Amino acid sequence: MRAPAQFVDLRQVRRNFARAATSYDAVAVLQREVGSRMLERLDYVKIEPRRVLDVGCGTGISLTALSERYPKSKVIGADASEAMLRTGRTQRSGLRWLLPFLRSSRSSLVSADALALPFTAGSLGLVWSNLMLHWLDDPLPAFHEIYRALDVGGLLMFSTFGPDTLKELRTSFSDGYAHTQRFADMHDYGDMLLECGYADPVMDVEALTMTYASLDDLFRDLRQSGAACAMQARRRGLMGRSAWNAVRTGYERHRSEGRLPATFEVVYGHAWKTQAKKLGDGSAIVRFDPKQRLR
C-alpha cells in the first residue's frame, strides 16, 4: 500500500491537468522551450535506444521530436492524466491526416503513474521527463522505478523546477498558505540519483523569465497549463478583496519596463544506469575470473 502524500495533493494535481487538457498546448510555451533545450543536450549524448519513454508526457508534445531524433526507436508517452492523454490522441489523430509522415510514427500514449511504470525491468533505453518531477510528493521513488525499467547503459534525462521558481509570486503573499509548488534544489536531485544507483549524474540550472502585462495573465497561464498550486497547505477558501489588493500591490513592486516578471528556475539532469555493483540487500558484487594455473 502506497503511503499517502505528505505535501502534494495528488488528486488536485490530476484535477488541475484534467481541467487544462484542452487549453494546455496553446499556453505551454515554457514547456516547449525547456523541451527544446533538453533536445539540444541530447546532441552530446551517443545513444541508440530501442525504446524511449517520455514519462509525464502530457498531451505528447515532445513525442514527434523524439521520434525524429530516434527514428528506429519505439517512442512511448506515459502520463497519469487520462484527460491529457485523450486530448493528445485526438490531436495526433487529426495531424496524421494533415501530415502524412506522422502516419508511420512509432510513438504511442499509455496511462501510467511514474511510481509504477507498466514496463518490464531493463526494457527502456532512454527515459525522458520534461517538467514532471515537482508534481510528485517525493521524486525519489520515481527515480527508483525509472532505474528499474532502464536497461544497463540506458539514460535518464529530465528537467524540473528549482526553488527560485515563481519567487515573485510566493513573496507577494503573506497569509501563511502555500501558493506555489514545493521545489527541490538541484543538489537534492543529484543526491537522489546517486542514492538510486545512477552513474555519472550531471546537473545544470538556469533561470528563465516570463513576463506578463498583469497578474491576472500569469494566473490564467498557470491555470490553463494545469500549473496551479496543488499543495496540501494551499488556501482552500476565497481571499477577501483587501487581501487580493495587497498581493497585487506586492507583485507590482517587481514590474519592470511595463511588464511583470515570473522567474522559473529550470533544473536539468541526466544520469546513466550502469552494471550494478551491489545487490538489492546492499551487499557488494565481487567478480572473480579464475586465472590459468601456472606450471
Could you tell me the residue ranges of all domains in the chain? 10-161+184-207+266-272
Residues of the chain predicted below pLDDT 50:
1, 95, 97-104, 284, 286-295
pLDDT in the model for residue 287: 46
pLDDT in the model for residue 101: 43
pLDDT in the model for residue 230: 97
pLDDT in the model for residue 264: 98
Residue 81, CA distances (Å) to 57, 170, 226, 254, 275 in order:
10, 27, 11, 35, 34
pLDDT in the model for residue 99: 46
pLDDT in the model for residue 6: 85
User: pTM for this one?
Assistant: 0.88
pLDDT in the model for residue 289: 46
pLDDT in the model for residue 283: 55
Selected from 3.20.20.210, 3.90.650.10, 3.40.50.150, 2.40.400.10, the CATH number assigned to the domain covering 10-161+184-207+266-272 reads: 3.40.50.150
- For 60-87, the pLDDT digits (tens) are 999 999 999 999 999 999 999 999 999 9
pLDDT in the model for residue 4: 65
